[in-house]
Amino acid sequence: MVPDACPMTVAGVVHGAAAVAHLLVTVTLWVLKAQFADHILFEGKLPLTCTVPSARTEAESEALRAFAPVELDSPCGDYDLVLACIVLHGLTMLAHVWYAVKGTSHGWRWVEYFFSAPLVFLHTALTSGTRDVGSLVLIATATAGVMPLGHLIEQRTVVPPGVPPASVPKRTDAQVIGLIVGWVVVVGVQGTIVMNFGRLAAGAPTFVIGIIGAEMVLLPLFGVVAMFHASVSLSTCDILHTVLSFSSKIVPTAVFISSITK
């Protein structure tokens, strides 16, 4: 389907503005990281943990097998939240430059989301208290894995010549299944994040609670837009995704900006 020239021009302008906004955020983060390193909480790095077997004899381990107790708090490196924010906004800025040149992100945005969405979910998970490496890897890979489904869901059915558009179903079975799978993964990931956050919510700073709440609302909206994609124009869908993308990505950045309070 060839989009109308006028709406796509509007979408192109929106993408150009988004590219400038992400560029400003990227530069700001880089300057803050360089100039205010001594004021960043934990140097902007969040500690990770690994699940490892506790110290046991070979005989005890053989007897208990999978039921042997495990140690949950073993240190396992750090996650540089500041650098991840810079990569996130830099990558998105380059993507919007490409979209502005093309006049639309249709057919391309899910490639960007494949790389950027896992970073957003990781930011949310880490901020909410999920530090186990295994859980974080599953969250990132599951998020990336469902992004191609978004592209599948958005593909409109081609109307054969001479066939009334009303007689052609708006969604194929594959699109419906893709939508269901996408929602299952998102709900599962968000459920994991919320459950872990519940353990520290009472002592969490107000800005962290606000960030978690905002992301829990913003991230599922991508699925809502996908659900009604067939009912709106390509340009409208394009602009909605751009607004949601910027909003969801600026929220993790607030974690870094708010940490300049040490």
Residue 111 backbone class (left: φ over 0; alpha: ψ -120 to 50; beta: rest): alpha
CATH fold of the domain at 5-258: Rhopdopsin 7-helix transmembrane proteins (1.20.1070)
Cβ atoms within 10 Å, residue 222: 21
pLDDT in tens, 65-74: 555 555 556 7
pLDDT in tens, 163-189: 555 555 566 777 778 888 888 888 888
Please state, rounded to an integer, the average pLDDT across all residues of the chain: 78
pTM of the shown model: 0.80
pLDDT in tens, 106-117: 878 999 999 999
Query: Is there a contact between 211 and 127 (Cβ–Cβ < 8 Å)?
Result: yes
Amino acid letter, residue 253: T
> Taking the domains of the chain in order of start, what are their residue ranges?
5-258
Q: Long-range contact list for 101-105, CB < 8 A, 24+ apart?
A: 101/12, 102/12, 103/3, 103/8, 103/9, 103/11, 103/12, 104/3, 104/8, 104/11, 104/12, 104/234, 104/235, 104/238, 105/11, 105/15, 105/238, 105/241, 105/242
Calpha distance 94→112 (Å, rounded): 10
